Amino acid sequence: MEIIEKIKTKQSQDSLTEIQKICLDKLQPSPLPNPKSEQWRLSNKSKFSNFLNYPFNEKNPKFDTPFPKSSQSTIRLVIGDSCQFNLIEENYSIKQLSEDKLVKYIKEQISCFDENENWSDLLNLSLNCTKNTLGLKINGSEIPPIEIFSHASSNSLNAKTLIIFLEKNCDINLLQVNLGKENSSLSQSTFFFLEENSSVNHGVVSYGENKSNLLNSLNVIQQNNSEYNLGSLHFKFNFARFEIRIKQSEGNAKTNIKSMQITKKDEQISTFTKIDFNGPNGFLDQINKSLADDKSHAIFEGSIIVPKIAQKTDASQLSRNLLLSNLAQIDTKPQLEIIADDVKCKHGATISQLNEEELFYMRTRGITLTEASKLQLSSYFQEIISFIPVSKDRWDLLDKLLQEN
Amino acid sequence: MVKENLVKDVVKEPYKYGFVTDIETEKIEKGLNEDIIRLISQKKEEPKFLLDFRLKAFKKWQKMKEPDWAGLGYEKIDYQDIIYYSAPKQKEKISSLDEVDPKLLETFDKLGIPLTEQKKLTNVAVDAVFDSVSIATTFREELAEHGVIFCSISEAVKNHADLIEKYLGTVVPASDNYFAALNSAVFSDGSFVYIPKGVTCPMDLSSYFRINSGDSGQFERTLIIAEESSSVSYLEGCTAPMFDTNTLHAAVVELIALDDASIKYSTVQNWYAGDEKGIGGIFNFVTKRGKCLGKRSKISWSQVETGSAITWKYPSCLLLGEESVGEFYSVALTNNLQQADTGTKMIHIGPKTKSTIVSKGISAGNSKNSYRGLVKIGTKATGSRNYSQCDSMLIGDQASANTFPYIKSQQPNSEIEHEASTCRISEDQLFYLQSRGIEFEEAVSMMVSGFCRDVFNQLPMEFAAEADKLLALKLEGSVG
Amino acid sequence: MQSQMKESDPILEVENLSASTDNLPILKGVSLAVYPGEIHAIMGRNGCGKSTLSKIIAGHPSYNITNGDIKFLGENINSLEPEERAQSGIFLGFQYPIEIPGVSNLEFLRVSTNARRKFLNKEELDTFDFEELVKEKLEIVKMDHAFLSRSVNQGFSGGEKKRNEILQMALLEPKIAILDETDSGLDIDALRIVASGIKKISNSQTGIILITHYQRLLDEIKPNYVHVMSDGQIIKTGESDLALELEKKGYEWTDNFIKET
């Protein structure tokens, strides 16, 4: 209940937007997620309540991106700063979504929200105002890569919303970076709409600092013949949840997901994915990797839902996990729910430590145990990182961050 | 092209065990309260510790809520509308099989389980349970020569009270779950097996459960203890007549294996499943669990689940002893409106423990077939391994197949591997078989039994053949 | 083992070595000394302990030394880590080279070469200098440059894997190389390439132990000594003609030695 009070006292009832009001109403009967539900049962309760403890902050202080300076060839946007953005070029245009369209779209989304499953989005939308919402409509061809930053400032809870409409036949590379500052909480909700024949290479890199928290929710709707490729990496958060919901609204679409989370110290990072095939001929290739060290806890829960209408779906989901310490733990639960009969679905999960024979082999060549482990880990990361659409110089930075970690 | 309706027809084989034996029975009144429990206990002339066990369980049960997490759709069970004790009337004390009511012997004859001296199966000792009581156990003397105790649990309570008191409820505590608590309060009969140290049981042991009356629940309880370096293979079969009401079957099975002991527990479950509209059938809510207490002990579950309106069953292993082994091999076939939610829990507690899970689900008609399993490797289970494989086969586009594996590891020096896949019988495969002159239905049943091969290989021989036939019958007319 | 006066000190000395894995004894008192310039062959049935011996010399963590010593250049190395042994000049050619998906072969070779060079107080090589060196060594095993950009051993044929092992040996320039069934799974051409590679790399200052089942590698590389192992022990040692005799008479012949001892 506290959280609702917090939002309400922050703003007078009148200044609340329509969306905020709807979401607050939805949260009213059950202001917090049900800790016994599948989506939340493994979440660390004290870490989660810590997430909500910071005072809500609407302001958007300047920050220095740790990434190299923006170049001519990329478009860089910061949610909060660049929310008034229009770019019309010869081949393409990136325009701000009109308020009407935005509200209409979000309302549509909310109408099919489940209080528990979409709790993170409900929180985000009831906290957020137009100022921290970036809504873009993209069309055309030969669009330069786009980088979108979202961040939380220290000692506060920030909420950022990103909405992207990708129009027909359009394809883009988009890197989304979520940064957590020391003692902060970031609620990031992203809504992605892919029209027919569009395609996106979407990278999500989220990393925090000391005691930062993240609720990152990603909702994707794919129309016919669209292709959605996601490469994501979450690390260095005291508490983070990455929720991915993908709906192939008419089937006939392709989804590739390569996600990874790294936990150290006593961090808890979880990834939840739900892939809904709402039509025939859908395709999914998904892999989630976790690495848990020290006293940390990594969680993966993935569900694939194939209703009767989704004949000829071809879906594969793999959960690969490395458990590196006696005190760390890993939970994984890949699930299939299938009603259609003419489908190819498979999933797999493994939990192990670094391969001993591989390590020994490298050591007999004079490579130290530490070095050999590093090599093995970086090969483990490689598959994911190479799927994140970033240019070479940014790649190096990512590599460095991982090495430090 | 295979026609849709052909598919549906395949599953229509009538249930051939659906007859009712007309026999005078002694039933107590419907309902459940402390007095009923005292009455059951009194009828069975039980010692005080057992009555206390029942009453304690009853108190717990009253405080518990019927679970709904499996998402099974069924009408609420009225626990006051069930008869908790029903037994065929016969002479007080039966000294030999000749005194058993011929109608009962005939019943088991019809079920393919002849009990009389002349006809009994030669390589299997059978304990036949009819509604709430055990009717007869064959080969008792032969087994006794080896020190093996195989009798009804009621008898064991009288003759081996020490063992019962020591082990009953140690694997499945009364408070474990709603149905285990209910069973602990009202269990009527079941089988008891004790294999002494160093003995390899000279023949397979088998219990056959028959529900005959429509309004009584069946709550049997099985307890198997394998002492150090002993081994036993135990088989369980079940059938029930066709009634248009649902009958509740809530059994508890507890297995205990000490150092180097091994227990193999096989089930072919063919309770009445209800008709094609989903009317009638057994609610099969069973708790089965084995405790590998000793070093290098092994418990292996294999099951073929084809019957029941709803099955809810997770034969599990607690792997405590160092290097102990747990196995689960399962075939679950659902058709029409059947629902099966089955799987296993492998809890690795001791070091170097190993478990294997092979589950094959086949769903046809409008049925729902779920695998739900838990593999947990605890902090002390260093060097442990698990391998799971869960495959589903879908027949027709109305059936559903779900896989819910929960996997948890807290031990880096261990390995867990899980694989699952979903498939159907492909037209190409069918065509290939048919082009070699194999009939359509034969081809389907070949494919299904091929799909289940890994599990059938784990069943004792006679059982495997039986299971194969059973699947073929169940599927007749259902593929396309 | 016959006693013979040697002019220099041995490179490798194995003294009465016993070892076990999972409390199962595998080696039961093996003794062996390899002097500079010598080539030793170890033969024996599957499971006799010859692969285990090679792994223990290289320091595989799954085995426990229960008795005896391994000395390299006079120093006891029983408690050294595998990488320390490799850096100081012990090379193990694997019977089944391990595939390491995702780790590039070139990077792997460079890191290991530099680890050895560092030990030898030689300058570490940067990417370019290393490329030069590798190119030269690739010649020895007649391997294509393209192998370098693939993951370590992943998708390599049996012959390619073995050649990759010899390439590593060429780069690391070990004092002693233990080659565990390097000849198995090779066709005759590949066998010649591998054998000539081994000959090129070895010299009067290095020692070689060939572990093999067959005579054919020994036709290419003539050993000074042949040891026959059985049940964790060396049951017979002879000169190169022992291998020929063994080929003729089979391992049953050696069973008599056990009875004798």
Determine the Cα–Cα distance for residues B387 and A209; give it in Å rounded to an integer. Answer: 38
Q: Which range is least confidently modeled, B51-55, B103-107, C114-118?
A: B103-107
ipTM surpassing 0.90: no
Q: How far is CA C145 from CA A302, B23, B167, C137, C142, in A?
A: 42, 86, 68, 11, 10
Verify whether the Cβ–Cβ distance A376 to C101 is below 8 Å: no
What does the pLDDT read at residue B315? 94
Give phi and psi for B61, each to the nearest 5: -60, -40
What does the pLDDT read at residue B281? 83
The whole domain housing B262 covers 2-475
Asked if C106 is an interface residue toward chain A (Cβ–Cβ < 8 A), one would say no
Q: Read out DSSP for C121-132?
A: TPPPP-HHHHHH
DSSP B267: E
Determine the Cα–Cα distance for residues A365 and A20; give it in Å rounded to an integer. Answer: 61
Between A356-363 and A369-385, two packed helices, what is the crossing angle to 10 degrees?
A: 120
Determine the Cα–Cα distance for residues B224 and C168; give it in Å rounded to an integer. Answer: 59
Residues A334 and A369 in one domain: no
One-letter amino acid of B169: G
Residue in C184, C230, C226 with CA at minimum distance from that of residue C47: C230
Verify whether the Cβ–Cβ distance A366 to C115 is below 8 Å: yes
Q: Which range is least confidently modeled, B136-140, B367-371, C143-147, C170-174?
A: B136-140
Interface size between A and C, measured as CB pairs under 8 A: 77
What does the pLDDT read at residue A278? 93
Upper half-sphere CA count for residue B348 (Cβ side, 13 Å): 32
What does the pLDDT read at residue B10? 41
The pairing of strands A297-306 and A268-277 is: parallel
What does the pLDDT read at residue C244? 85
Q: How far is CA B333 from CA B37, B269, B381, B474, C110, in A?
A: 36, 10, 34, 8, 57
Stretch B190-196: mean pLDDT, rounded? 93
Q: Which of C57, C103, C124 to mutate against chain A (most A CBs within 10 Å)?
A: C103
For the cut 70, the answer to whether the pLDDT of residue B201 exceeds it is yes
Average pLDDT across each block of 10 residues of chain C; the chain has 261 residues. List them in order. 63 95 91 95 90 92 92 93 91 89 84 90 90 92 89 88 93 94 87 90 92 87 93 91 85 71 51
Asked if C111 is an interface residue toward chain A (Cβ–Cβ < 8 A), one would say yes
The whole domain housing A44 covers 2-353
Residue B172 in contact with residue B133, Cβ under 8 Å?
no
Determine the Cα–Cα distance for residues C129 and C126; give it in Å rounded to an integer. Answer: 6
Cβ-based neighbour number of residue A99 at 10 Å: 12
* Residues in B touching A325 (Cβ below 8 Å): 412
Supply C232's token pair. Answer: 């964790």
What does the pLDDT read at residue A12? 58
Residues A367 and A230 in one domain: no
Q: What are the residues whose beta carbons fall under 8 Å from the beta carbon of B46, sequence distance 6 or more?
A: B157
* Each residue's pLDDT tens digit, C148-190: 988 888 889 888 999 999 999 999 999 999 999 998 888 888 8
Q: Where are the alpha helices (DSSP H) in C59-157?
A: 82-88, 105-119, 127-141
Determine the Cα–Cα distance for residues B431 and B442; give it in Å rounded to an integer. Answer: 12
For the cut 90, the answer to whether the pLDDT of residue A362 exceeds it is yes
Domain presence at residue B315: yes
Determine the Cα–Cα distance for residues C181 and C113; give it in Å rounded to an integer. Answer: 23
Residue in A165, A163, A113 with CA at minimum distance from that of residue A140: A165
Q: Read out DSSP for B379-436?
A: TT-TT-EEEEEEEEEE-STT-EEEEEEEEEE--SS-EEEEEEEEE---HHHHHHHHHT
Residue A277 in contact with residue A306, Cβ under 8 Å?
yes
Among B404, B407, B412, beta carbon nearest to A326: B412
pTM confidence score: 0.82
Supply A319's token pair. Answer: 């959960």
Q: How confident is the model at residue B11 (pLDDT cuts 50, 70, 90)?
A: very low
Upper half-sphere CA count for residue C79 (Cβ side, 13 Å): 0
Among A308, A326, A337, beta carbon nearest to B397: A308
For the cut 70, the answer to whether the pLDDT of residue B157 exceeds it is yes
Among A360, A362, A372, beta carbon nearest to C61: A360
What does the pLDDT read at residue A13? 61
Angstroms from A275 CA to nearest CA on chain B = 14
Tell me which H or E stretch contains C31: strand C24-34
Among A308, A311, A352, beta carbon nearest to B415: A352
For the cut 80, the answer to whether the pLDDT of residue B267 exceeds it is yes
Give phi and psi for C53, each to the nearest 5: -55, -45
What does the pLDDT read at residue B236? 85
Determine the Cα–Cα distance for residues A70 and A212; give it in Å rounded to an integer. Answer: 26
Verify whether the Cβ–Cβ distance A376 to C87 is below 8 Å: no
Residues A348 and A361 in one domain: no
One-letter amino acid of A359: L
What does the pLDDT read at residue B306? 85
Q: Which range is least confidently modeled, A241-255, B312-326, B458-472, C103-117?
A: B458-472
Determine the Cα–Cα distance for residues A346 and B326; give it in Å rounded to an integer. Answer: 25
The helix/strand/coil state of A136 is strand
* Each residue's pLDDT tens digit, B416-431: 999 998 888 766 776 6
Residues A362 and A229 in one domain: no
Residues A52 and A147 in one domain: yes
Domain presence at residue B480: no
The pairing of strands A344-352 and B415-423 is: antiparallel
What does the pLDDT read at residue B462? 66
Residues A381 and A234 in one domain: no
What does the pLDDT read at residue C243? 87
Q: What are the residues whose beta carbons fall under 8 Å from the beta carbon of B431, sequence distance 6 or more?
A: none
Angstroms from A203 CA to nearest CA on chain C = 21
Residues A279 and A370 in one domain: no
Verify whether the Cβ–Cβ distance A349 to B407 is below 8 Å: yes
Tell me which H or E stretch contains B256: strand B252-257
Determine the Cα–Cα distance for residues B200 and B261; give it in Å rounded to an integer. Answer: 9
Q: How confident is the model at residue B1 (pLDDT cuts 50, 70, 90)?
A: very low
Residue B342 in contact with residue B314, Cβ under 8 Å?
yes
What does the pLDDT read at residue A18? 86
Residues A349 and A361 in one domain: no
Residue C14 in contact with residue C32, Cβ under 8 Å?
yes
Q: Which is more confidently placed, B259 or A377?
A: B259
Determine the Cα–Cα distance for residues B21 and B8; give it in Å rounded to an integer. Answer: 31
Where does residue B196 fall: left (phi above 0), alpha (psi -120 to 50 degrees), or beta otherwise? beta
Verify whether the Cβ–Cβ distance A345 to B399 is below 8 Å: no
Between C105-119 and A369-385, two packed helices, what is the crossing angle to 10 degrees?
A: 160
Asked if A286 is an interface residue toward chain B (Cβ–Cβ < 8 A), one would say no
Determine the Cα–Cα distance for residues A76 and B120; give it in Å rounded to an integer. Answer: 83
Residues A312 and A342 in one domain: yes
Residue A9 in contact with residue A115, Cβ under 8 Å?
no
Determine the Cα–Cα distance for residues A266 and B467; give it in Å rounded to an integer. Answer: 50
Beta bridge partner(s), residue A301: A272, A333
Residue A332 in contact with residue A290, Cβ under 8 Å?
yes
What does the pLDDT read at residue B475? 66
Residues A360 and A220 in one domain: no
The helix/strand/coil state of B336 is coil
* Each residue's pLDDT tens digit, A138-160: 999 899 999 999 988 888 899 99
Verify whether the Cβ–Cβ distance B418 to A350 is below 8 Å: yes
Q: How confident is the model at residue B9 (pLDDT cuts 50, 70, 90)?
A: very low
End-to-end CA distance of chain C: 13
Largest interatomic CA distance in chain A = 71
Q: Which is more confidently placed, B91 or B398?
A: B398
What does the pLDDT read at residue B23? 72
What does the pLDDT read at residue B6? 37
* Residues in B touching A347 (Cβ below 8 Å): 403, 418-421
Domain presence at residue B101: yes
Q: Which is more confidently placed, B291 or C252?
A: B291
In chain A, how many domains are there?
2
In chain B, how many domains are there?
1
Q: What are the residues whose beta carbons fall under 8 Å from the beta carbon of C27, sequence distance 6 or more?
A: C17, C18, C19, C20, C49, C52, C53, C56, C232, C233
* Each residue's pLDDT tens digit, A16-41: 788 888 888 888 888 888 888 888 98
Percentage, residues of chain A above pLDDT 70 = 90
DSSP B216: B
One-letter amino acid of B308: S
Asked if A298 is an interface residue toward chain B (Cβ–Cβ < 8 A), one would say no
Stretch A73-94: mean pLDDT, rounded? 84
Q: How confident is the model at residue B247 (pLDDT cuts 50, 70, 90)?
A: confident
Task: Count the residues in chain A.
Answer: 405
What does the pLDDT read at residue B321? 96
Residue A268 in contact with residue A43, Cβ under 8 Å?
yes
What does the pLDDT read at residue B108? 73
Domain presence at residue B328: yes
Residues A151 and A230 in one domain: yes
Residues A328 and A246 in one domain: yes
For the cut 90, the answer to whether the pLDDT of residue B165 exceeds it is yes
Q: What are the residues whose beta carbons fall under 8 Å from the beta carbon of A58, sequence distance 6 or more?
A: A10, A129, A131, A132
Residue A391 in contact with residue A302, Cβ under 8 Å?
no
Q: Which residue has the tokens 């709603």?
A: B178
Stretch B253-268: mean pLDDT, rounded? 94
Q: How confident is the model at residue B120 (pLDDT cuts 50, 70, 90)?
A: low
